[in-house]
């Protein structure tokens, strides 16, 4: 809604509000009105973009020494968490974890490991047999998908002998969505 001031000029109600004040633009020098709470320094977005100090404001920064390469680096204080070690880059962090973090059986999430051998002893032949038996259809939903996987009903990590895990009775052909569901159900049971 627009009103007219004493001189007959149309003014919106907010610019008659006593909480506004006149300022002078830092870039072009033109006067403009704004709310006192806005603390605006520029009359328009264009002037803001032309300002040499655009977007610069003092930030709390902290210098730290990298926990891996011992190089000094600087970051905003908010980036430093409660960790004891800080790294200058992701590669330094990864190198430190590869060297000093617990691996294998010493890791708290260890659950028996992964055996590469299970997929080398005639796996390609067994996979073809499973696909032929299922007629290239998902044995769970019955549809043909682009991505089909051979699923172990009893996971490889739980059996010691490869012949048992790669037996045709333990394998089934599943589409990718059904395979993900089957793996989730196995994890919930374990």
The pLDDT assigned to 70 comes to 93
Residues in the chain: 190
**DSSP H or E stretch at residue 123:** helix 123-134
Residue 107 pLDDT: 77
Q: What is the gyration radius of the CA atoms in the chain, in angstroms?
A: 33
Asked if residue 61 lies in contact with residue 74, where contact means CB atoms within 8 angstroms, the answer is yes
| 187 alpha-carbon distance from chain centroid | 24
**Model confidence over 96-124: pLDDT tens digits?**
888 888 877 787 777 776 655 556 667 88
Query: What pLDDT shows up at residue 122?
Result: 79
Cα-Cα-Cα-Cα dihedral sign, residues 162, 163, 165, 166: positive
Task: State pTM to two decimals.
Answer: 0.39
C-alpha span between 165 and 112 (Å, rounded)? 15
Kindly state the percentage of the chain with pLDDT values over 90. Answer: 18
């Amino acid at each position: 809604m627009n009103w007219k001031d004493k001189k007959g000029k149309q003014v919106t109600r907010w610019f008659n509000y006593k909480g506004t004040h006149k300022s002078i633009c830092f870039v072009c020098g033109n006067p403009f009105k704004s709310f006192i709470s806005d603390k605006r320094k520029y009359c328009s977005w264009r002037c803001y973009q032309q300002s040499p100090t655009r977007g610069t404001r003092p930030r709390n920064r902290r210098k730290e020494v990298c926990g891996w390469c011992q190089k000094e680096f600087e970051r905003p204080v908010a980036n430093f968490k409660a960790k004891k070690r800080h790294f200058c880059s992701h590669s330094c962090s990864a190198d430190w974890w590869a060297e000093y973090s617990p691996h294998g059986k010493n890791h708290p999430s260890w659950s028996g490991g992964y055996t590469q051998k299970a997929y080398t002893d005639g796996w390609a032949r067994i996979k073809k047999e499973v696909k032929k038996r299922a007629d290239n259809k998902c044995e769970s939903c019955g549809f043909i998908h682009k991505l089909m996987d051979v699923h172990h009903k009893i996971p490889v990590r739980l059996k010691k002998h490869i012949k048992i895990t790669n037996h045709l009775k333990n394998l089934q052909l599943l589409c990718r969505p059904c395979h993900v569901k089957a793996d989730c159900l196995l994890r919930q049971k374990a």
